[in-house]
Structure 1
């Protein structure tokens, strides 16, 4: 993998982490603080996503962004906010993982 593409993937992962942090702020009690922090991190997420898609196919980048973001949010909801998942939700997450793997396997190589 060329260096520019590896850097693009790094920016994509930064975008994912920023989105997860921003989304996690929605559970806070202080409405002003949560919306300010959410706005900052979601904006950073889109900024880094914009950089990433210059070298990664937009469909692939978006699929990875959404799936990994969803998985990380689920983990935060389980371990930080002590929420739970039912069987159907767990099956849906597994199917989504399989889908993203298939999408990445089918990515055009440059």
Structure 2
């Protein structure tokens, strides 16, 4: 149960990071965007701190970054109409492969 809770905390941290990043673009420099970004980043780091008590920091950080990136790119495509180029798509794919390899290499 404890490991499940740590993974739930990591997912909350990732979603908070995504909200923080998307809010900056959506707000177009208005104050509410900065306020939402600040609150979301604080929330993200708080839950990241909770999850690394159980999940190794290397795995948690890699997943936080790459899954957050994938979600941000997805939202930017559907909300803002920003399409990644081939190099960016390759980079995202390599990041996902990296997460898989890191998780496969985790000591049980």
Instruction: Give the TM-score taking structure 2 as reference length.
Output: 0.95
Deviations along 1:21-54, whole A, 9 cap, x unmatched? 1111111125211100000011000000000000
Q: Hey, what does 2:95 align to over in structure 1?
A: 96
C-alpha separation between the residues in 2 aligned to 1:68 and 1:29?
24
Q: Hey, what does 2:32 align to over in structure 1?
A: 33
Instruction: Give the TM-score taking structure 1 as reference length.
Output: 0.94
**Within 5 Å, which residues of 2 pair with 1:3-18?**
3-18=1-16
**Within 5 Å, which residues of 2 pair with 1:1-110?**
3-27=1-25, 28-109=27-108
C-alpha separation between the residues in 2 aligned to 1:23 and 1:14?
14
Structure 1 residue 15: Cα displacement: 0.4
Give the unaligned 5+ runs of structure 1.
Answer: none
Q: Per the alignment, in what secondary structure is the counterpart of residue 32 of structure 2?
A: helix
C-alpha separation between the residues in 2 aligned to 1:24 and 1:85?
16
C-alpha separation between the residues in 2 aligned to 1:32 and 1:108?
45
Runs of 4+ in structure 1 off by over 6 angstroms are none
C-alpha separation between the residues in 2 aligned to 1:38 and 1:67?
19
